[in-house]
Amino acid sequence: MSTNIKGLIDRTYREYLEPMEDMVSYTVLSGALSVSDTSVGFNGDLLSTEEEDALDAGTIIEIGQELMICTELNVVTNSITVTRAARGTTATTHNAGDVIKITPQFPRVNVFNAIKDQIENLYPTLYAVETQTISSAVGYVALAGADDDRIVAPLKAVSQYQELDAGNQTTVQFRGVAMELIDVPTTVTASGKVVQFSGVSNGVNVHCTFKKKFGEVKDYDSDGDAEDTTLAEIGLETEYEPIIMAGVAAQMISGKDIPAYTADYITEQMQVTNYPVNSSSNIRNSLLQYQQVLINQARKDLRARYPEPVSVNSVVYPSA
């Protein structure tokens, strides 16, 4: 299982887009690249003569998410003169040992963007879940968490109390608490969300479970690398990974004549799902059917874990 977006991208390549028999030609950087460098040194020992010749003028290479266009090849110094940030990609720094892919069939930046699309499109069929402990009060309680603006609905609220006494008591059972989520202007609270409780005294800790949208895949730590976004940061459970990967694979091969090895590899992967395939069009359709099966399974699991609560006049009453 993956822990971040980088791992999810690599797993998508490994399990769908780049079977070992059909990996694109590659080598590695022999030295670091700054944002402005236009001379790319490479390890010639990893390339055949034909592969090295393919680095001549006009060839597109990929390092990380950046695409570059080769303008000149020097086989003596094992270096290429390139035009940086080709096809709308962004020039960035690269380290010695980073992989250089030659004419990539599925550019990494495209796979990254497809993963972002797939995560965004999961909601509202699937959603993230978060539980917060909130102290009840007179009137409303503002939700002030950094990503509380992603909260869309309450699922349940429970507390431990006895005869509505203030404070928390551990000698009694958890009891359901009625809760209302209200959208308010951001001048009230930055998230635009507040909650109100019914049937519980002030100062009681209430454990509230919320339905949330998935977070955006972005550079949360401002280090210039959005791929290190963790799945936990965006609320994506690891069991959703196969859903994302199947959707990305279908999105990437849509309308393409994919290599025979890739088609055969995906076909073998799909056999376990009983979806026979024999062309890129059928492969895409089978991937989408497989993704829908996984989505339905995940949806059933969510409903089993978090039954839809009863709501009367916007107040949510516990379902159990």
Distance CA 201, CA 165 (A): 6
| Residue 280 confidence class, pLDDT cut points 50, 70, 90 | low
Structure-model confidence comparison of residues 314 and 49, the more confident one: 49
What DSSP state is assigned to residue 230?
A: B
Q: How far, in Å, CA of 305 to CA of 211, rounded?
A: 12
Min mean pLDDT across 138-142, 251-255, 258-262 is at 258-262
pLDDT category, 261, cuts 50, 70, 90? very low
Locate 26 and state its tokens.
């590659």
Q: pLDDT tens digits, residue range 100-144?
A: 999 998 999 999 999 999 999 999 999 999 999 999 998 899 999
Q: What is the pLDDT of residues 265-279, one digit of tens each?
A: 565 665 555 555 555
Q: What is residue 271's predicted lDDT score, i.e. its pLDDT?
A: 56
Confidence at residue 164, expressed as pLDDT on a 0 to 100 scale: 47
Tell me: the pLDDT tens digits for 198-227? 878 888 889 999 999 999 999 998 888 999
DSSP 42: B
